[in-house]
Structure 1
Amino acid sequence: MNDFDFFVGTWDVANRRLLKRGVGSDEWEEFPGRCVAYGFFDGAGSFDTLTLPTKDFDGATVRTYDAERDEWSIYWINSRRGLDPVPVVGRFVDGAGTFYADDTDDGRPIRVRFTWAGITSGSCHWEQAFSYDGARPGRPTGSWTPPAWGGPVTNPRPVASVVASSAPMRQMEFP
């Protein structure tokens, strides 16, 4: 169940994003990010914040595990647009995670494939690809774009070094 435990900590992300999706473009932008990830619910949940110092937005991700269905739902939150209500859903098999969703991109229906792979104690790789022509797992028709966004994630740092503070804690009172 603890599939995302590997991601707890602070990571440097080398983002690579396709500038124009679904039109055959191969023009990319690259930009740095810093991700801080936490686990909760004894491994059945995961949350991270993604700071993008050269972009005009940041992001966050919430991941929840459904033990009965043996699958994860992953929700993206953009600091400008808010919660993307369509999660990618899937599971890890043999150390790699693959997640799918039906969504839209600029009003066009798409199939989204989101993957986590190459997972080690010091690195991993994530990517997101789109299909504009109905690709499905195990279906011979349909095609996937090059990854629309993704990149290597490296240099984990303990979460404690990020959240430790000498500031006094405030007491919260509830009515």
Structure 2
Amino acid sequence: MNYHPTDFAAPTGTLSDFDFLHGDWTVTNRRLKQRFAQSEDWDEFEADFHCEPRLDGGANIDQMDAPTRGFSGMTLRLFDRASRRWAIYWVSSQQGTLFPPVQGGFIGDHGVFVGRDTDNGVPVNVQFFWTRLDPDAARWSQAFSRDGIVWETNWVMNFRRR
């Protein structure tokens, strides 16, 4: 299920799309050590994760702490009631600046969010995928493309509720 950010074919959503994520989780991360290098060398690490709703469900905020990797990250998700799309903003303690948002929503248990960013100064298309597996498990992944055709998944997070 690859969406092309230039087409903005990402689905719309509802206020309840991220209700499943509220609470405390243990996250197993797999992150490519080097992107766009045809590498299969992954960095694997655990992290603690907490998410809670804000603004009567129109927003939520989370924090992920990965002490073994020396960083924390925070996500702000905002629901645009007019477009019915979520905008997802990420900030890491390593950079301290907001990354450009991805936007989209869910179809059933699958969420697709698309946007643009840069990777080492090179423009990339970005896709986030969310999958609600069951009440106590979820998966998130991120893929980048330089041309909008060939995509590389570079980060996968498996969530287990605590």
* Partner of residue 3, structure 1: 17
* Partner of residue 151, structure 1: 157
Superposition pairs for residues 26-175 of structure 1, below 5 Å?
26-133=40-147, 135=148, 142-145=149-152, 147-156=153-162
3-state SS, counterpart of residue 133 of structure 2 = coil
Q: What is the distance in 1 between the residues matched to 2:131 and 2:159?
A: 11
Offset, 1:155: 2.1
Offset, 1:48: 0.5
3-state SS, counterpart of residue 152 of structure 1 = strand
Q: What is the distance in 2 between the residues matched to 1:33 and 1:56?
A: 11
Offset, 1:109: 1.1
Q: Could you tell me whether the CA contact under 8 Å between 1:103 and 1:111 is conserved in 2?
A: yes
Q: What is the distance in 2 between the residues matched to 1:74 and 1:119?
A: 20
Percent identity reads 36
Q: Could you tell me whether the CA contact under 8 Å between 2:99 and 2:117 is conserved in 1?
A: no
Offset, 1:44: 1.0
Q: Could you tell me whether the CA contact under 8 Å between 1:20 and 1:27 is conserved in 2?
A: yes
Offset, 1:91: 0.9
Q: What is the distance in 2 between the residues matched to 1:17 and 1:113?
A: 15
Q: What is the distance in 2 between the residues matched to 1:80 and 1:108?
A: 19
Stretches of structure 2 lacking an aligned partner (at least 5 in a row): 1-14
Rg (Cα) greater in structure: 1
Q: What is the distance in 2 between the residues matched to 1:109 and 1:14?
A: 28
* Partner of residue 166, structure 1: none
The partner residue of 2:28 within 1, 14, 25 is 14
Q: What is the distance in 2 between the residues matched to 1:56 and 1:14?
A: 15
| TM-score, normalisation: structure 1 | 0.81
Stretches of structure 1 lacking an aligned partner (at least 5 in a row): 136-141, 157-175
Cα RMSD of the aligned pairs, angstroms, is 1.1
Residues 155, 85 of structure 1: alpha-carbon distance in 2 compared, 3 angstrom cutoff: closer
